[in-house]
Each structure stands twice: as structure tokens, then as C-alpha cells.
Amino acid sequence: MSALPEKFSVPKCNNVLVVAGAGMSADSGLPTFQNRSSRFDFWGAEPGTPARRAMEEGLSMLKLFRVHPELAWPMYLHRLETCLNARIHDGYRALAEIARAPGRAVAVLTSNVDGLFPRAGFSPVHECHGQIRRLQCSAPCRQETWAAEPDLIRRELEGDKFPVCQWCGGTARANISWGEMTYAAEESDARARQFAAVVEAMVTQPTLLIECGVSHESGLRRYAENLHQSHREVFHLRINNEAETAEGDRQWILRGKAEQTLATLRDMF
């Protein structure tokens, strides 16, 4: 089990705000993308295959969807099924128990597109990089998305076809943001507004911000730090597998993996 800091005690908080990165999904068997190889493997791009060579040459998934759909869609289906079959580890259940105490509000911000937080029953959840389990028009002809159905996608691929937009019949793609203008962001923006409204109400009361599995370079880390520094009622607990030093009287670092560390934390509430 993960060790807790000597002077750590759980602050009495009305609310729990979760900010989670790839490290939260790692204990469910999903890679953190810390190296190129794990990213290629997650997409199902086997060494020596055309898909692997295309990715090694620097073609993005967005470009593959556009110019090589015969490579992109099998990889997408592989990753979709990997995410849908990933286990909801005990860290999610521990967070749920911590957050759902009577009268306690909870909200989640995550860069993960795997859908594990919604599957675990959390709401509201702002998946700021999109949702692998939703599809959109590549144009897009409209901002709406629809559910990705693995069996349907597989049948289409077996018939040498690719998923198309439900409305215009054009090319479809994953509703994942690759930092470009064709991402259908309207639904994501609505979730972001809902999340922001919940957080705005939270921070007027004692709030425990649990940051879990977020890398140093992530914008999620800057968000968590800014919220902690600008609101005296926000207590910042960082869970990370790397050695770090806490700063200030309202911040703590728990070093360890998400599942074990959150289970340890649950026992303190």
C-alpha cells in the first residue's frame, strides 16, 4: 500500500473535485503514452504493418482518418474495444465512496478519452479531449455526435466499408480532439460549462481537490495548481508515482499508483 505523509490528515470538506490524467487509467491496463511504442501498441499498430509504418513516419490519427481510412478504422476499433473492456479498478470505487458521502458534491475533469469515469457512475464529468466512444462527422456538417457501436463498425470493415456521418453521408471519425478545427466541440463545451458551474459553487466551501495521475507538462496540473492557489477553501491532494515536494499548508503529495493510493485514502474518511 502507498505510504501517507507523516503530517497528513484528511481535511473536512464539503466537496470533492477530481482532476485525473493518464495515470488514473494505467491501473486499468491502459498505457500512459509516455513513449511512442506504447502509443502505437494501444492503437493496435503491430510492428512491421502499414499502420505502424505510417505512425512511425509521423502521420497523425486525424490524417489517417482522412487519407488512409483503411488503416485508421481497424486501429480505432482496437482502441475502442480496449477501452470498453478495461476494468473499473478499485481506485474509482474508492473515489466514489469518498465523494458520495451525504451532502458532498463531486465533479471530475479528465484528459482521458477512455470513458472510465462515466462508466464508474461519476457526474458531471468533463472529458476535455473528447470521447472515444462517440463518433462525429469529419467535416463536421453539424456539431452532434453518436455512439460508436463496435459490432456495426466491424461488419462495415469486413465489407470493405467505413462508418459515415448519420446526417450527410460523409466520412465519420472519432470524437477526439487532436487540436484542430474539425473537432465537433459543442457537446464538450456544454459539459465544460456544466463542470465550471459546479466548481464555481464548490470553491466557496471547503473542497478537496484530488489530482491523480497527471503529468508535469499537463494543462490539468496548471488548472489544479491555479485553483488551489486562488481559493483558500481548496485543499490540494496530488497522487503521483513520481517524487515531488508539497508547497504550502493546503497541499499534500501521496506517492504511488492510483488504485492502491486511493484505496489507502478511502480508509481515512
Q: Which residues are catalytic?
A: 129
Q: Which residue has the cell 477530481?
A: 18
23, 67, 145, 174 from 155: Cα distances, Å: 33, 21, 20, 17
- Longest distance between any two alpha carbons in the chain, whole Å: 62
Distance from the Cα of residue 109 to its chain's centroid: 8
C-alpha cell at 265: 485514502
Cell of 182: 474539425
Picking from 206, 195, 4, the residue whose alpha carbon sits closest to that of residue 117 is 195
Helix, strand, coil percentages in the chain from 3-state DSSP, rounded to 5 = 40, 20, 45
CB 202 within 8 A of CB 174: no
Q: Which of left, alpha, beta for 91 (phi over 0: left; psi -120 to 50: alpha)?
A: alpha
Helices 258-266 and 90-99: angle between axes, nearest 10 degrees: 30
* SS3 call for 19: strand
